[in-house]
């Protein structure tokens, strides 16, 4: 499969550096700076460098050795979540403003709605979501239901109401959209925790997936977002958007190294079909 379109520019800095190598010893200081600038983050960079030094790699083998180190983050490739047939599957989708949460939810509804009944829940009560979702993703088709909370109302109540309706409709999957919120605003994070508790009170054990949507162009900021949201809620997976741009995308590996959370999906465009399963091998190959 072909993933991460146009991500060949992901480590353009690394490529330019590697092209200057003529053989012999590696300039470790230059390599360290290059990896950090490629959004791999300091902790992962230091871990990679320590391992490479133990291997005594040369300039000729540095690319393949670095790729192998990054690929070690995924000894078992992640798989997209499947739906349990004996329950309403509930997925909570979170993230900061502007990363593409609602667009990603539409793509998920399109993907899983091919064989399942999906219910969309707009727990973003700060904006009117019904007209937008209706026009863009056609929620009125037979396999997709929709619940919008009262504008300005309690997001947790909107989530509860949506689950009630999804259960009445015998839906297989409820996708809960949330308002974009900054990860450094404690009151907004507490609100997400409340939504999670209310979901569990209506569907025991839910949410079954907590998906953080991150912008692949955000670099180090995406790493911080993942760490804070994971600590507060316990993420199960990522959706990485905007990787059809000139994004470096190194934060994907850094997030995995620092939280253990992997992407389920990669967003590569604006259409409903532009949602691809994450493949570590393809991801690492695109680095170089």
Q: Is the pLDDT of residue 128 over 60?
A: no
3-state secondary structure of 150: coil
Contact 247, 7 (CB under 8 A): yes
Higher pLDDT, 148 or 263: 263
- Indicate whether 110 and 186 sit together in one domain: yes
Answer whether residue 82 is part of any domain.
no
Statement: residue 4 has pLDDT above 50: no
Position 84 in a domain: no
pLDDT grade, residue 8 (50/70/90)?
very low
Total domains in the chain come to 2
pLDDT at 126: 62
CATH value at residue 154: 3.40.50.300
| Pair 216, 265: CB distance under 8 Å | no
More confident residue, 140 or 7: 140
Among 45-49, 132-136, 178-182, 206-210, the range scoring the smallest mean pLDDT is 132-136
Same domain? 182 vs 246: yes
Q: Classify 90 as helix, strand or coil.
A: strand
**Same domain, yes or no, for 203 and 139?**
yes
Rounded (5°) CA angle 142-177-280? 95
100: left (phi over 0), alpha (psi -120 to 50) or beta: left
Is the predicted pLDDT of residue 134 greater than 50, yes or no? Answer: no
Would residue 285 count as lying in a domain?
A: no
- Residue 162 in any domain: the answer is yes
Residue 11 in domain: yes
Pair 61, 194 in one domain: no
For residue 79, being part of any structural domain is answered with no
pLDDT for residue 67: 93
Last residue of a domain, one of 71, 104, 126: 71
In the predicted structure, residue 39 carries a pLDDT above the cut 60: yes
Helices 220-233 and 186-202 pack at an angle, to 10 degrees, of 50
Residue-level pLDDT at 152? 77
Does the residue 1 lie in any domain?
no
19 has a pLDDT exceeding 60:
no
Segments in the chain forming alpha helices (H): 12-19, 28-37, 42-55, 62-71, 101-112, 130-137, 155-168, 186-202, 220-233, 251-259, 280-287
Q: Do 155 and 266 have their domain in common?
A: yes
* Average pLDDT of the segment spanning 135-151: 66
Tell whether pTM > 0.75: yes
Judge whether residue 13 has pLDDT over 70.
no
Is 265 or 284 the better-scoring residue by pLDDT?
Answer: 265
212: in domain: yes
Average pLDDT over residues 80-89: 96
Domain that holds residue 56: 7-71
């Amino acid at each position: 499969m072909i993933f991460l379109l146009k991500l060949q520019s992901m480590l353009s800095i690394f490529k330019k550096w590697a092209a200057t190598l003529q053989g012999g010893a590696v300039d470790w200081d230059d390599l360290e700076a290059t990896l950090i600038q490629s959004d791999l983050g300091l902790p992962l960079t230091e871990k990679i460098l320590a391992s490479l030094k133990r291997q005594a790699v040369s300039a000729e083998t540095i690319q393949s050795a670095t790729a192998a180190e990054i690929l070690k983050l995924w000894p078992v490739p992640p798989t997209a979540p499947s739906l349990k047939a004996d329950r309403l599957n509930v997925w909570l989708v979170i993230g900061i403003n502007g990363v593409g949460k609602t667009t990603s939810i539409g793509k998920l509804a399109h993907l899983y709605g091919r064989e399942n009944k999906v219910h969309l829940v707009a727990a973003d009560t700060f904006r009117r979501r019904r007209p937008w979702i209706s026009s863009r993703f056609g929620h009125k088709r037979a396999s997709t239901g929709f619940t919008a909370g009262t504008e300005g109302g309690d997001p947790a109540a909107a989530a509860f109401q949506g689950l009630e309706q999804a259960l009445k409709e015998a839906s297989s999957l409820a996708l809960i959209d949330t308002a974009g919120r900054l990860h450094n605003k404690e009151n907004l994070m507490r609100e997400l925790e409340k939504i999670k508790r209310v979901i569990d009170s209506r569907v025991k054990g839910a949410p079954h997936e907590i998906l953080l949507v991150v912008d692949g162009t955000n670099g180090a900021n995406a790493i911080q977002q993942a760490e804070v949201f994971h600590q507060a809620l316990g993420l199960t997976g990522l959706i990485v958007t905007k990787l059809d741009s000139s994004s470096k995308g190194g934060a994907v590996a850094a997030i995995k190294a620092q939280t253990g959370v992997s992407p389920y999906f990669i967003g590569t465009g604006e259409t409903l079909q532009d949602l691809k399963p994450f493949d570590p091998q393809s991801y690492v190959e695109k680095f170089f």
